[in-house]
Amino acid sequence: MHPAAWIVWATCAGLVAFTTTDPFYLGLVVAVSWFVYAAQRVPGPTERSFRVFAIAGLVTMAVRTALVFLGTVDAGSVAFAALEGARLATLLIVFGTFNAVTDPFGVVRLAPRRFHEPALAAALALSIAPRTISMVGRVREAQRLRGMHPSAWRALPTLAVPVLETGMEEAVTLAESMDSRGHGRGRRSRYRPDRWTLGAIVVVVASLIAAGVFLVAAFTGSPALHPSTFPLTWPEADPRLLATIGLLLVPAFLSRPSVDDEGQVR
């Protein structure tokens, strides 16, 4: 799916979570996020983002709740803190899904014309990083091969300098190559722009509706969104709002991203 559609989805889901502390709504957003993750995750290093963010979310929630014990402790304040924490956790989980379903280069490709060059720099950093990492290993080994085992402090310059200097030389080659191939010459065209499919459009519309409903509810000060903790009462679960959250589930029904033999996302 077009990366911009994912950004819209994630932003809207995030907004929905941001506007409420009702555990039913938050819980449903979490469930929706998980479904979308399960259906649309891209195999690869970003796949585990969901778990990482989920854990981060739980930790945040725990810390937030624990902070209450610095002050007055009663059922109400604990509940309040827990709900605040739950909201943050939900936000994080939405981002976890986003990371796991998008291809990093896709996000970079989206950059508007003005940002094309910094985006290219970011994409370059992504491509070059694995080589830099392996270079560090090879430099370390080269020191061993010379019979040198410097102490930790002395080792740092012997590690950092070759990696940096080699990187600088490669930057010259890269810059020459870009210059020779016409970089910065004029208006650019795009080889294979991401295409907007019907599914992506539906996702965008559905997400915007969901966010819109919740934003309106928030601005009109609807009490349904923030269950009262002083006194502690059972939170509401308006079926209409629950259904609206269901709109965020649309991406889960689109075709799965396929990965061809070379590990490339189609």
Partner 1 sequence: MSALRFDAVSFSYPDADRPALHDASVSIDEGTFALAVGATGAGKSTLLRAANGLVPHFTGGRFSGRVVVDGRDTLEHAPRALADAVAYVPQDAAASFVLDRVEDELAYGMENLGVDPVHMRRRVEEMLDLLDVEPLRRRSVRSLSGGEQQRVAIAAALAAGPRILVLDEPTSQLDPQGAEHVVAALQRLVHDQGMTVLLAEHRLERVASFVDLALGFERGTVVPGEPAEVIRRLAMGPPVARLGRLVGWDPVPLTVREARRLGGRLAPFELPVERHDGVRTATAPGETLVRVAGLEARHGESTALRGIDLEVRRGEVVAVMGRNGAGKTTLLRSIVGVHEPTRGSIAVDGHAPTPGVDVALCPQEPEVVLFAETVADEVRATRRARDLPDDPMPMLDALGIADLAPLHPRDVSAGQRLLVATAAIAAAEAPVLLLDEPTRGLDPSSKDRLAGYLRSHASGGGAAMVATHDVELAAAVATRVVILAGGEVIADGDPGVVLGDSTVFAPQMTRAFGAGWLTPEQVAGALA
Partner 2 sequence: MITEERSLTSPAAPLATPGLSARARALAGGSRLRLVALVVINLVGLLAFLWPFVLPVTPGVNENHANDGPVILAVLVICLGAVLFVELGRGGLGPKTIALLGVLGAAMVALRLPGFVAGFSAMFIVVLVAGNAFGPGFGFLLGAVGTFASGLFLGGLGPWLPFQMVAVGWVGMGAGLLPRTSWPVRICSLAVYGAIAGYLFGAIMNLWSWPFLTTGTAVDWDPTAGAATNLRHYLAFYAASSFAWDTFRAVGNAVLVLVLGRPLLGALDRAARRMRLEVSR
Q: How many CB atoms lie within 10 A of CB 66?
A: 12
Distance (Å, rounded) from C-alpha 66 to C-alpha 5? 37
Q: Which is nearer to partner 2, 172 or 198 (CB)?
A: 172
Beta-bridge mates of residue 232 = 229
CA Rg value for the chain? 24
CB of 22 to partner 2, least distance (A): 16
Contact 135, 163 (CB under 8 A): yes
Site for partner 2 (CB under 8 A): which residue of 5, 86, 91, 247? Answer: 91
Tokens matching residue 26? 């938050």
Rounded distance between C-alpha atoms, residue 247 and residue 152, angstroms: 55
* Residue 9 interface partner, choices partner 1, partner 2, none, CB cut-off 5-8 Å depending on type: none
Residue 106: count of CB within 10 angstroms of its CB = 16
Looking at the Cβ atoms of 186 and 193, the one nearer to partner 2 is 186
Interatomic CA distance for residues 251 and 202, integer angstroms = 9
Q: Specify whether the CB–CB gap between 32 and 131 falls below 8 A.
A: no
Task: Report the residue from 45, 71, 112, 184 that binds partner 1 according to the rule CB under 8 A.
Answer: 184
The 84-123 contact track toward partner 1, x by CB under 8 A, reads: ---------------------x--------------x--x
User: With CB under 8 A, what is the number of residues at the site for partner 1?
Assistant: 51
Q: Which residues bind partner 2 (CB under 8 A)?
A: 14, 45-49, 52-53, 64, 67-68, 70-72, 77, 80-81, 84, 88, 91-92, 95, 98-100, 104, 107-108, 114-115, 117-118, 120-129, 131-133, 136, 153, 156-157, 160-161, 163-165, 167-168, 170-172, 174-176, 178-179, 183-184, 221
